[in-house]
Structure 1
Amino acid sequence: MKITVRDVVGSLLISDKPLIDSVDQLLIGCYDEEVRGIATTFAATCEVIEKASNLGVNLLISHEGIYYSHQNNPEWLAADPVCSRKRQIIEQTGIAIYRDHDHCHRQTPDIIMAGLLEALDWENAVAEMLSTSAIVQVAPIKLQQLAAYIKTKLGLHYVRVTGQLSDCCSHIGILVGYRGGGSLAIPLLRDKGVDVIIAGEGPEWETPEYVRDAVHQGGHQALITLGHAESEQPGMQYLAKQLQKQYPQIPVHFLPVDPLFHVL
């Protein structure tokens, strides 16, 4: 039976009605094209696109956009040489690229959060699932040991930690992607009584500075910053597993992006 791009994209949607102000869309390609191979990724980098093409993939599902902005195809990058060359690479491969961002986050549960919890082996440790975060309860562990555990489970070279490394924690708030800002993280520390926030990223003058002052005042709050991609890649791997079950007749791959920063 022929499976088209339209069929696969339709299976990603949470409603027949379009989401308001959503960035999710087919960025390049044709809805009526038959799908021969699928890959999911956090970001459709040039390297990921080339790897997908080599694997015979003709539908790439990317969580983030192609051209370095949350809004797709911003006008101020239209004539940029890096964007132009990337567009040529995509056209040469003939790959269709669909952005699956908002539907991932608005699933119940949030697919990106579900993937991170699975990667950390905390699916059964969830004490409360909120619309933008999860709270887990684990056996008491020192902050330094918790950071080491996260690095091992996610295969990370480093994480950034704010707080006293010797403090003990067990009540943990988790925020994926760019949700680590003060408006979402601070209420978890203040109102939900979590010991530590694990977040992808957020403005450095918000949650990290709140934690710094809290510790100076004698508190025991902490923050572990993973990085945006590091917090969301497990979710796109989780999505690939779902698609493998849904389309067993089509090869489905997860293509991770390499670490973006070098720590010198």
Structure 2
Amino acid sequence: MANRRQFIAGLSQTLGAAYLLNIPFCAGATPVASAPLTVGQVMELILKTIPGAPFPKTVDTLKSGRPEQPVTGIISTMFTTIEVIEQAIAAGANFIIAHEPTFYNHADETDWLKDSPVLQHKQALLDKHKIAVWRFHDYWHAHRPDGIRKGMLDVLGWSQYSQADTEPLLVMPPTPLNTLIGHVKQKLDIKTVRLVGDRNQVCRRVLLMPGASGGRSHIMAVEKYRPDVILCGEANEWETPEYIRDARRQGQQVSLVVLGHIMSEAAGMEWFVNWLKPKVPGVSVRYIPSGNPFTYE
């Protein structure tokens, strides 16, 4: 009961207590087969699997929709793009669980953009079709194992090189960096990467840091684990790349490969589908890739 009360309290901070008075939660009971799960019930059963959830402060809040609305289908994705929303509508799904922001900033604040026709169009589309959007970032990374990392390791075929006590370090057979890059590009459908270092360097100790954990996190990990290469999702140009450039000049044999944020984490949201399906029997759950917005000239 305490966890249930904490969860409802956390939701009320985002949606307002009035929205929550009619949420048909039933702690300790299995939903009746004829009664579809609600958005709030799906969120609750997911949070029960996350250590320490619900968090007192998190960006993982409902961005649209209401917790009491029945779920007609669930979509997992990286970004709630307009294309993803349109595909969800076509699939008859009204609950999108996205890893990243919906409204163009980390906290999904919209006051600064309230007069934007782009924002208004997206909000109107979500409202018209009564689609709930829940960001699932902090909680999925807090899952054990980290849901994003688990999905990435499975797709790359590198799970056997990972040890829980030395995350994010992978120790693998000596492999030329150029071969590693080719493998990652093929498995993750990445068109191009950015490299600081030597593509012919032989690598055994690999730091896998998908997403955007930040320059300080990258640099501290390099200092701690002394890898041959760090594979990251994205990096500010004045942080990790400059550190690696100076480290190489100083004499260290370390390289940096920037994969791109979206494609470095997407497999983790695809893995989420198979993780979630057994928990919501009878509910359609599918992955829709939001894809990479860039083309390369």
Q: Where do residues 73-112 of structure 1 align in structure 2 (5 Å cutoff)?
A: 73-112=109-148
Is structure 2 residue 66 aligned with structure 1 residue 33? no
Is structure 2 residue 96 aligned with structure 1 residue 60? yes
Whole-angstrom CA distance in 2 between matches of 1:207 and 1:216: 14
Whole-angstrom CA distance in 2 between matches of 1:18 and 1:188: 28
What SS is found at the alignment partner of 1:50? helix
Q: Is the 8 A contact 1:126 1:136 kept in 2?
A: yes
Q: Where do residues 130-209 of structure 1 align in structure 2 (5 Å cutoff)?
A: 134-179=168-213, 181-209=214-242
**How high is the TM-score relative to the length of structure 2?**
0.84
1:247 to partner: Cα distance: 1.9
RMSD of the TM alignment (CA)? 1.6
1:57 to partner: Cα distance: 0.7
Aligned length: 261
CA offsets, 1:32-83, max 9 Å, x none? 2221211100000000000011011111101112110001233211221110
Q: Which residue of 2 aligns with 1:18?
A: 54
Q: Which residue of 2 aligns with 1:237?
A: 270
CA offsets, 1:175-234, max 9 Å, x none? 12111x331112222221111111111211111111112222332101111111111111
Q: Which structure shows the higher strand fraction?
A: 1
Q: Is the 8 A contact 1:143 1:164 kept in 2?
A: yes
Q: Is the 8 A contact 1:129 1:135 kept in 2?
A: no
What SS is found at the alignment partner of 2:163? strand
- Where structure 2 has 5 or more consecutive residues not aligned to the other structure, the ranges are 1-32
1:129 to partner: Cα distance: 4.7
- Where structure 1 has 5 or more consecutive residues not aligned to the other structure, the ranges are none
Whole-angstrom CA distance in 2 between matches of 1:249 and 1:147: 40
Q: Which residue of 2 aligns with 1:116?
A: 152
1:88 to partner: Cα distance: 1.1
What SS is found at the alignment partner of 1:223? strand
Whole-angstrom CA distance in 2 between matches of 1:169 and 1:27: 42
- Structure 1 residues 90 and 201: alpha-carbon distance in aligned structure 2, compared to 1, 3 A threshold: same
Q: Which structure shows the higher helix fraction?
A: 2
* Letter of the 1:253 counterpart: R
